[in-house]
Amino acid sequence: MSGDGVDIPGAIAHFREHGWARMGVVAGDDVLAKLRARADDIMMGRVVHEGLFFQRDSETGRYVDLVFGRGWEGPSLDYRKIEKLEVDPVFRSWLENEAFELVVRGILGDQVAIYRATLFTKSARGGTELPWHQDGGNFWGLDRDPELQIWTALDDVPAEAGCVEIVDRSHAAGLATPLGGTIPADRALARRAEDNVTPLPARAGEAILIHNYLWHRSGNNSTGRTRRAFTVSYITAATRCLRTRRAPRQFVRVFERASEDAT
């Protein structure tokens, strides 16, 4: 995908003011077919990479019932989250496409790495709800908080498929708690989040910029069809991992080589 047809300055300005911005449809049918097939191949164990993080949907569809630490549990399309997809050449090629490069450089500058490249899927059986959260804070273990994620719909994601929902401009108030992550119920009540929900339904191939501090969430999928999305957290290459119990993470630099044309 080239940057042609995407209003990059407009998207960046909207992102800064609102904490999110639509880029429009950036992935064409052929790219979508490759990304969807690769998502299924990874879940079904037909393509295997060392070190991927897998988490299955909860049995109930409720976030509080998620089970942690099991990794890949066998072939299934009921995984809700797969991380470290930067190691996969198909996803890697997509996250380095030219339109993303223009946006990312416009916001973060020239030296860029990624914190995570993640599939968030909601299976045809309903998936798992994701509560209000922010993607930063001590929980992320970095010397500075990331600010930019680019989310791509791999399938049509109408409201009833569990589209991303946001509280417009909520990024401007910073972190709700120093830890980051899930927003405590009392903070959500105080911010009257339920009265200020903006749903962001998306067509397959659409990309949306999401500020890491933006309050966002997504519900269950009642469409009976799988709902897959791929999201990448880009960081400045100067970002350092602060963890001490294990060797600090080194982040994969991106946009260093001429990006292969994923389209």
Under the rule (CB under 6 A), what is the footprint of ligand AKG? 120, 130, 135, 149, 151, 164, 210, 216, 218, 229, 231
Shortest distance in whole angstroms from residue 151 CB to ligand AKG: 5
Task: Name residue, tokens 């799988």.
Answer: 226
Shortest reach from residue 247's CB to ligand AKG, in Å? 26
Phi first, then psi, for residue 179 (nearest 5°) are -70, -35
Q: In terms of CB distance, is 38 or 216 closer to ligand AKG?
A: 216
| Closer Cβ to ligand AKG, 110 or 131, answer by number | 131
DSSP 8-state symbol, 259: P
Give me the numbers of helices (H) and strands (E) for the chain, helices first please: 5, 13
Q: Look at the block and give the residue holding tokens 């999928």.
A: 221
Q: Which is nearer to ligand AKG, 169 or 260 (CB)?
A: 169
Q: Which residues pair with 241 in a beta bridge?
A: 142
What are 260's two structure tokens?
A: 């292969």
Contact in structure between 97 and 26 (CB atoms under 8 Å): yes
By beta-carbon proximity to ligand AKG, the closer residue of 120 and 251 is 120
92 vs 216, beta carbon nearer ligand AKG: 216
Give the residue at shortest CB distance from ligand AKG. Answer: 218
The smaller minimum CB distance to ligand AKG, of residues 9 and 134, is found at: 134
Please state the φ and ψ torsions of residue 148, each to the nearest 5 degrees: -125, 125
Question: Smallest gap, in angstroms, from Cβ of residue 150 to ligand AKG?
Answer: 9
User: Which of 133, 129, 215 is closest to 179 using CA atoms?
Assistant: 133
What does the alpha-carbon distance between residue 132 and residue 217 come to, in Å, rounded to a whole number? 5
**Cβ 217 to ligand AKG shortest distance, Å:** 7
Give the nearest distance from C-beta 257 to ligand AKG in angstroms: 26
At closest approach, how far in Å is the CB of 244 from ligand AKG?
26
Distance (Å, whole) CA 72 – CA 56:
8
**Smallest separation, CB 20 to ligand AKG (Å):** 11
Residue 173 or 260 having the CB closest to ligand AKG: 173
Q: How is 28-90 classified by DSSP, letter by letter?
A: -HHHHHHHHHHHHHHHHTSS--TT-EEEEPPSSS-GGG---S----SS-S-EEEEE-GGGSHH
